[in-house]
A and B are shown apart, each in its own frame.
Chain A
Amino acid sequence: MSTSALGLGLAGTIALLTTLAVLVIPFRLRPTISGAGTALVGTAGLAAGAAALAGQSFTLPLPSLLPLSGLSFAVDPLSGVFIAVTGAVAVAAGIYAIGYTSHSGTSRAAAAVLPLFVASLLAVPAAASVATLLACWELMALTSLLLVLTEHKQRPEVAEAGLWYAVMTHLGLVCLLGGLMIFTAHAGGDSFAALAAAAPELSPALKGAVFVLALAGFGSKAGMVPLHAWLPRAHPEAPSHVSALMSAAMVNLGIYGIIRVGFGLLGGGSTWWWLLVIGLGAASAVYGILQAAMSTDLKRLLGYSTTENMGLILVGVGAAGLFASAHHPELAELALAAALLHVANHAGFKTLLFLAAGSVLHATGTRDLDSLGGLRSAMPATTLAFGWGGLAASALPPGTAFVSEWLLVQALIHGLHGATTATAVTLPLAVSAVALTAGLAVATFVKAFGTGFLAKPRTADAAAARESPATMLAGMGLAGAACAALALVPGALLPAIGRAVAAAGWPGPVIRYGTNGLVTIRLAGLAGEVSPLLLTLGLVIVMVATAAWLRALPARRAQGARRRARLWDCGGGPLTARMEYTATSFAEPLQRVFDDVVAPETRLDVTHLDEARYLVAAIEYRAQVPDRIERRLYQPILSAVAAWGSAARWLAPGSVHRYLGYGFYTVTAVLIILTVTR
């Protein structure tokens, strides 16, 4: 049996055993068993994914496991990427969860369901038939819902977040079900092989309908605008290791679905599909990072950043499809490779960021950036982790996201030769969207890191922070090490990604990367190369040399240590924490620039004295940046549904017999009609 099959089987078994164990063992051991079990499941998954990336595929049909259709699993290098990424995230999150849940407490159900969640995340990319995919998808949705609702007893907002998440994920499932059922009905068999074989005979309209429905379902899971509303609500309310798993592993499966259905099953398609994907991706990227830049809740910021990164990945996938349908396979492969590399990079730094945010939440009890600050002295390890994650997320060298964004922009740039007019208009707009996203990401993470961790603490909670326990630091350390490896030597991962790209479905030669791909990444067939390792080495060498030269200056040698100096306070007395810039004020210039898109709401309540109307007793000022898409798109739909419901109440007078009668009369009428018209 191949290693990947063994790894996945092992992962599933360990998950079941851990779930059962957590249900019976006493309270004190629960966090350790649950976290350790999850980490083990992750390790098995990582091994399975790595084996699949190395070229070991397998197919495993299990026809008797589910009635009518059976389950069937198959792993190829494309699924291997997602399985490996999920496994790696689960290892870090599992170890972190040991410390996090022992201190903050967790319900038995949540601790038991965590390894099952990871197992379902590993199973979805391995599905090889529609029934298997939907079964594992639904298992993933249910387990994640249970995990999101872990802390619902402590905070009422959790229940609302869980409701939004449940409704939206099931609406996505309905779209998926619709699209895949149409496909299966015309294909005469629900295994992916049968679907792929039947795709060339379908009409373009039908294929388009299937693709749009699949895009809606999978895109909603990936946090694509405008179906993203659940993401910034559910991610802050879930416990931090769950947020990390959801943001860094679960949203990727939406991307997996789009790649698998779009390329593998439907065999590429019309150009307008991929233009739609690019458009939605670019909109998600810009809207996501704009909302993140305005957000003062640390975890909501990270949730919106996930939308942004998924948007960038969708731009890559869309560009790949666009180039494939225009018969430029080497560009298509480059774009898809950039997208897959960004999946891995994003998983790395998003895990790190969420785990660090959880550490802050655990130490201070608040997620509000306007109340944090000054955590550098009390929590140096967490500060380092968040700083490294923030650098990674802002696509600056030597950060992690720099290489994948470089690859993406290279793919977009080289596409202009021999392009159609639609493509020639889309590519510069896509490049400018990516650029605006990169600039805003720098602003966002400078804000988050600067106001949250540097300078002085703004409230007593922040001042009372203490460093997190060792298991939490270990989880962050693992994620940080993975980020560093991906940042400095991404070339190690590129051959595996090349195999994954080849497995995505279109015919053509595989990209051959340069022989010294470890230090320098060279594009095959196109002119371009970059070396993050050399960049970092150059920076480090110059910094060390300059520091040494400064030390060697005679004035400095005579001085010894640096003199402590007062900060400039305009002569008005010692500076207090109240005089620091808050996160809201930091983002205010950007908010003004993007006022029309962001539409902030302000409310000013002035209370006058009873006796004298000209004198003011109190003033209350409230400013909020709502999610504009939610306001403009979701509220009208919800109101319309509520109006429908109220109007339909005349159908429900309260008599049980009337309701049963509806059913009986309908069935009888249908039977009579069937008899008569045959």
Chain B
Amino acid sequence: MTNTAYVELLNLACGALLATAVLILWRRQFAAIIRWFGVQGLALASLAAILAVHGHDARLGAIAAGVFALRAVALPWLLRRALARAEAAAVQPQRETRPLVNVTASLLAAAVLTLLAYAVSQPLTALTPASPAAHAIPLGMAVVLIGFFSLVTRRRALAQVTSFLLMDNGITAVGLLTVASTSLLVELGVSLDVLLAVLVLQVLTGRLRETFGSTDLDELRELRD
């Protein structure tokens, strides 16, 4: 792969990551959110594949395949299934999120967080100024912060799960961009972690629905004595 092609493809993949994150923050319907999440997984997998091809690293290629399988295929499928079950069980199917902060304010906050991410990532980029991957780190950081913000401001449990996964995508991206050679074991561990978290949160969501009839987290306040 020529150097310019590599740089172009890398920036494209990272740009796609950030764009899908903003779209997830913007859209209100669950089905759309899950679709954009799948696209983001594809972007992440292609990022890993680009790095693998450029660095001639077979292990990174295996990681790329794993990321694709998990974040572009398995997790969206699980989320869609959970959505379908929620729609089947609920009296009033809720298709939309109802965030605490309205969409305009959320997008403005996302812009501020992206700027913050650029500011914070300066030392990391300064470590290897010649590498194009290092210049793309702020994008990954921005995805993490946007994910965190989304986690804080979402009411519905399913939206929160998606935000958590968004954050994790961002962390994986930063990890791929910064580390020279990742250990397979670490990736495996992290992936298993994520899978487990999703499964647990699914169960939790189901229980919430049974108890309260909805998955509005504000209703959890009633549990405090």
Contact = CB atoms under 8 A, between A and B. Distances in A.
Interface of A: 67, 652-657, 660-661, 663-664, 667-668, 671-672, 674-675, 678
A671 B145 CA distance: 11
17 contacts: A67-B186, A653-B224, A654-B221, A655-B218, A655-B220, A657-B152, A657-B153, A657-B155, A657-B217, A660-B152, A661-B152, A664-B151, A671-B120, A672-B116, A675-B119, A675-B120, A678-B123
B214 to A, nearest CB: 14
B30 interface: no
A678 B151 CA distance: 29
B116 A675 contact: yes
Contacts of A67: 183, 185-186, 189
A454 B224 CA distance: 59
A51 B223 CA distance: 61
B148 interface: yes
B151 A660 contact: yes
A674 B124 CA distance: 13
B116 A671 contact: yes
Nearest to B183: A67
Interface string B190-225: 000000000000000000000000000110111110
Contacts of A661: 152
B148 A656 contact: no
A671 B122 CA distance: 12
A419 B76 CA distance: 75
Interface string B144-160: 01001101110100000
B221 A668 contact: no
Nearest to B186: A67
B100 interface: yes
Contacts of A654: 220-224
Given A657-B100, A667-B148, A668-B145, A652 B116 contact: no
A122 to B, nearest CB: 25
Contacts of A674: 120
A656 B220 contact: yes
Given A67-B186, A654-B220, 11 more contacts: A67-B185, A652-B224, A653-B224, A655-B220, A656-B218, A664-B148, A664-B152, A668-B116, A668-B145, A675-B119, A675-B120
A117 B52 CA distance: 43
Contacts of A663: 148, 152
A270 B113 CA distance: 53
Contacts of B152: 657, 660-661, 663-664
A675 B224 CA distance: 38
A668 B152 CA distance: 13
B145 to A, nearest CB: 7
Contacts of A653: 221, 224
B200 to A, nearest CB: 15
A656 B217 contact: yes
Nearest to B218: A655
A655 B120 contact: no
A106 B152 CA distance: 47
Contacts of B123: 678
A675 B138 CA distance: 13
A167 B6 CA distance: 53
A654 B221 CA distance: 5
A663 B119 CA distance: 20
A655 B148 contact: no
A460 to B, nearest CB: 49
A665 to B, nearest CB: 9
Nearest to B112: A668
A663 B145 CA distance: 12
A672 B186 CA distance: 29
A668 B155 CA distance: 21
A672 B122 CA distance: 13
Nearest to A672: B116
A207 to B, nearest CB: 34
Contacts of A671: 116, 120
Contacts of B149: 664
A670 B218 CA distance: 28
Interface in B82-126: 100, 113, 116, 119-120, 122-123
Contacts of B222: 654
B180 to A, nearest CB: 15
A190 to B, nearest CB: 18
Contacts of A656: 217-218, 220
A44 B119 CA distance: 59
A77 to B, nearest CB: 34
A289 to B, nearest CB: 47
Contacts of A668: 113, 116, 145
The 7 closest A-B CB pairs, nearest first, are A654-B224, A654-B221, A660-B152, A675-B119, A656-B217, A664-B152, A671-B120
A111 to B, nearest CB: 27
A672 B117 CA distance: 10
Nearest to A664: B152
B28 to A, nearest CB: 18
Interface in B130-169: 145, 148-149, 151-153, 155
A654 B222 CA distance: 8
Contacts of B100: 657
A654 B151 CA distance: 17
A177 to B, nearest CB: 20
A673 to B, nearest CB: 10
B205 to A, nearest CB: 13
A416 B75 CA distance: 73
A664 to B, nearest CB: 5
Contacts of B185: 67
A663 B163 CA distance: 14
A579 B217 CA distance: 68
Nearest to B100: A657
A667 B145 CA distance: 9
B125 to A, nearest CB: 13
A672 B112 CA distance: 12
Nearest to A656: B217
Contact of A655 (B113, B119, B221): B221
A629 B128 CA distance: 58
B137 to A, nearest CB: 14
Contacts of B148: 663-664, 667
A674 B217 CA distance: 33
Contacts of B224: 652-654
Contacts of B120: 671, 674-675
B123 to A, nearest CB: 7
A385 to B, nearest CB: 49
A387 B151 CA distance: 67
Contacts of A672: 116
A112 B163 CA distance: 40
A661 B220 CA distance: 16
A238 B112 CA distance: 58
Contacts of B183: 67
B189 to A, nearest CB: 8
